């Protein structure tokens, strides 16, 4: 899935530097990296020296937008299962 997504991004002229995910299932453990918490985003911002004010968090759930707010990045809500290329084109227009 990451390879596919990276390919779509490259076709649109940019690339993803890193893919991050929470490995903790909420039925078995609690953590601060699972959305709507924003620790995972905050770690990426620090690790890759990202300018949060110039960044987007793309997601299809309100919890994604909440994590974006917590990390100080702009949230970009897309429709669940919408074509990724359409979401990227819409984001680039806004």
Chain contacts with Zn ion (rule: CB under 5 A): 22, 24, 31, 33-34
In angstroms, give the least distance from the CB of 64 to Zn ion: 14
Instruction: Give the Cα separation of 71 and 66 in Å (integer).
Output: 9
Instruction: Identify which of residues 4 and 21 has a Cβ nearer to Zn ion in the complex.
Output: 21
Contacts of 56-62 with CB under 8 Å at 24 or more apart are: 56/91, 58/87, 58/91, 59/35, 61/35, 62/36
Instruction: Identify which of residues 34 and 78 has a Cβ nearer to Zn ion in the complex.
Output: 34
Beta bridge mates, 59 = 77
In angstroms, give the least distance from the CB of 83 to Zn ion: 28
In angstroms, give the least distance from the CB of 65 to Zn ion: 18
Query: Three-state SS for 11?
Result: helix
Instruction: Identify which of residues 47 and 90 has a Cβ nearer to Zn ion in the complex.
Output: 47
């Amino acid at each position: 899935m990451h390879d596919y997504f990276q390919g779509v991004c490259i076709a649109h002229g940019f690339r993803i530097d890193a893919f991050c995910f929470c490995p903790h299932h909420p039925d078995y453990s609690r953590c601060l990296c699972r959305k709507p918490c924003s620790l995972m985003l905050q770690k990426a911002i620090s690790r890759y020296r990202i300018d949060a004010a110039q960044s987007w968090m793309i997601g299809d759930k309100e919890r994604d937008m909440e994590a974006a707010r917590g990390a100080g990045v702009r949230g970009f809500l897309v429709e669940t299962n919408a074509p990724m290329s359409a979401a990227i084109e819409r984001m680039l227009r806004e």
